[in-house]
């Protein structure tokens, strides 16, 4: 390519880049892990275990078990501090035909309007990431929206070595225009293992309605040995056909983006044993306290769960501590900004008595948490 052509290509790439934030992936550097930094014995179910916004998804039943962690093993000299690590602890060398072992990252419709997918002006996108895998060979990345999918293969060449991968996908000119809403409108599917139901056909490298057999053809099994580890970091999805340098955002910015989907209130990072991160309330019936809490605006009305609810104490307006007997749920109509939580208490105070008003609620041991979850 001539110098003039190179400059023209660079100009085209810069023109196609959106103003403001370029990385459509939240927490691509694996900085934020509100729920936990390490979870053992995973693989029998799916969910967000450690690093925020990175969903472990599985289909079918498998013997695979692993420890998932926010690791400090990262590519040297690239500005990353953390990665998402899977350490295989129980292998399954022969996955069932319906098995899928996938990392999913889901993106709201209102965050991808600039892609113009579903129109003749659909933009190409480029996905760049770092991978370190004991298992070498062919791996698959899939983009999925509604019932439409496109896949690409890449190769891990060296065992247990950080490698940077770049894949460019055509924009989807078919299907419907991306809805401008807060629902799941784009998935990045990072395959780590599949059964024959997803690998027995011909890989779909163009947008299509999607046949399961064509989705992950050639994908190796990263969990076929207990010696296997697989790590990821630096995931970036951007408009255009050229990969640019990873967009390093501050921890505070990344945390705020993650908290649109999940907020965890716990003792982590607090030096004082008695912390009051919650709010006020009242005793609304015998042996039940109603606590009002606020949280960063959520994508949708969240699900609220409490871990170790008896490790919280309720304090009355008269500075009397009432031992919490258990979390009994959130008020119907939990909102995107806050909720009322019902807490059983082991000793009653007068209902609606001034001295019975709830002054605050706090953790008295560091093994409790309130999780406000509005994940896609």
pLDDT in tens, 71-96: 999 999 999 999 999 999 999 999 99
Q: Which of 130-139, 297-306, 335-344, 358-367 has the highest mean pLDDT?
A: 130-139
**Predicted model pTM:** 0.90
CATH of domain 3-258: 2.60.120.260
HEC sequence for 332-357: CCCCCCEEEEEEEECCCCCCCCHHHC
Confidence band, pLDDT 50/70/90 cuts, at residue 328? confident
What are the sequence ranges of the domains in the chain? 3-258, 264-373
Which tens digit of pLDDT belongs to each residue from 90-143? 999 999 999 999 999 999 999 999 999 999 999 999 999 999 999 999 999 999
One DSSP character per residue, 72-113 reads ----TTSS---EEEEEEEE--SS--TT-EEEEEEEEEGGGSG
Has residue 332 got a pLDDT over 70? Answer: no
Task: Please state, in angstroms and rounded to a whole number, the distance separating the CA atoms of residues 252 and 318.
Answer: 37
């Amino acid at each position: 390519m001539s110098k003039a052509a190179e400059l023209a290509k660079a100009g085209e790439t810069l023109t196609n880049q959106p103003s403001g934030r370029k990385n459509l992936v939240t927490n691509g550097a694996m900085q934020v892990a509100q729920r936990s930094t390490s979870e053992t014995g995973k693989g029998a179910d799916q969910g967000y275990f450690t690093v925020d916004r990175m969903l472990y998804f599985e289909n079918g039943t498998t013997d695979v078990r692993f420890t998932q962690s926010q690791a400090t093993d990262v590519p040297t000299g690239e500005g990353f501090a953390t990665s998402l690590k899977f350490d295989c602890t129980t292998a399954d060398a022969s996955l069932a035909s319906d098995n899928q072992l996938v990392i999913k990252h889901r993106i709201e419709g209102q965050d991808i309007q600039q892609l113009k997918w579903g129109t003749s002006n659909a933009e190409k996108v480029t996905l760049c990431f770092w991978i370190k895998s004991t298992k070498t060979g062919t791996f698959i990345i899939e983009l999925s929206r509604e019932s439409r999918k496109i896949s690409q293969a890449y190769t891990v060449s060296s065992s247990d070595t950080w490698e940077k991968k770049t894949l460019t996908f055509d924009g989807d000119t078919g299907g419907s225009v991306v809805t401008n809403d807060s629902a799941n409108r784009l998935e990045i599917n990072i395959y780590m293992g599949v059964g024959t139901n997803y690998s027995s056909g011909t890989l779909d490298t163009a947008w299509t309605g999607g046949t399961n057999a064509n989705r992950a053809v050639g994908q190796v099994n990263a969990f076929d040995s207990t010696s296997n580890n697989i790590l990821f970091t630096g995931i970036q999805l951007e408009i255009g056909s050229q990969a640019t340098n990873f967009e390093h955002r501050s921890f505070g910015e990344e945390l705020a983006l993650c908290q649109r989907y999940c907020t965890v209130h716990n003792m982590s990072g607090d030096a004082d044993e008695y912390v009051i991160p919650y709010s006020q309330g009242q005793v609304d019936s015998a042996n039940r306290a109603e606590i009002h809490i606020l949280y960063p605006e959520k994508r949708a009305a969240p699900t609220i769960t409490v871990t170790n609810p008896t490790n919280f104490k309720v304090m009355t307006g008269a500075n009397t501590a009432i031992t919490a007997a258990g979390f009994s749920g959130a008020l119907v109509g939990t909102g995107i900004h806050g909720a009322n939580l019902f807490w059983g208490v082991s000793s009653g105070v007068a209902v609606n008595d001034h001295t019975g008003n709830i002054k605050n609620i706090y953790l008295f041991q560091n093994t409790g948490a309130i999780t406000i979850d509005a994940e896609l």
